[in-house]
Structure 1
Amino acid sequence: MKSVDERFKSIHPHYFRHNWNQWFSEIIDKNNDLSKDPNSNRNFISSSEEAKSRMYQMGHTSESSAKPYVERHIRNKTNKLVLEEQEELQRLIIESQKNRGYE
């Protein structure tokens, strides 16, 4: 990127790839959520279509090149869901203890 413009010298390719791929995954998720609305003009993007689009946008030579980025996104989403469930369980336990007078 530095060869395109000197202002990009502090952007490292590895950092750029990971952040771009995270952004792309979030855009696909948002699009697919919006596509559930019948009044939306969005079309659902399958995982196969996503892989092909990602491959094209990033200049990969095969769809499997994007696998680490997709897995990272899935891992992050899963971790977020698990944390939300743990927080809800903790809230219910505290609420139950208050109702029983165990404060």
Structure 2
Amino acid sequence: MTPSQPVPGRPREGPPVGAPAGTPPGAAHSQEFRELWDAHDVVDHRAGTKSIRHPVVGDLDLVFQSMDLAVDRGLQMLVFSAAPGSRSDERLRLLADRTSSGVRSATS
């Protein structure tokens, strides 16, 4: 890959190609985006809960934790899990069974 090509899984550094120096990514899209960017109202969520609707098993309520990878300061690993014995735990096990038995969803 050349330096101008994005690297999968990594945020693109710097402003959009052809944008003036100091231009935030996406600034050309809307005034609302520029105002939000200027406010820098960003919170780093290291742990919490997420509700996800999976197309095969339905709603999942998961806890997550974010961990920095020592090999590269810009990368993080997110670990999701369900409370043992919960409905989400049962649904994740159902997904694991489907995957190990080779069952595919209608979209795959």
TM-score of the superposition, structure 1-length normalised?
0.25
Structure 2-normalised TM-score?
0.24
Give the number of the structure with larger relative contact order, counting CA–CA contacts within 8 Å between residues 6 or more apart.
1
Q: Which has the higher helix share?
A: 1
Which structure has the larger Rg? 1
Which of the pair is proportionally richer in strand? 2
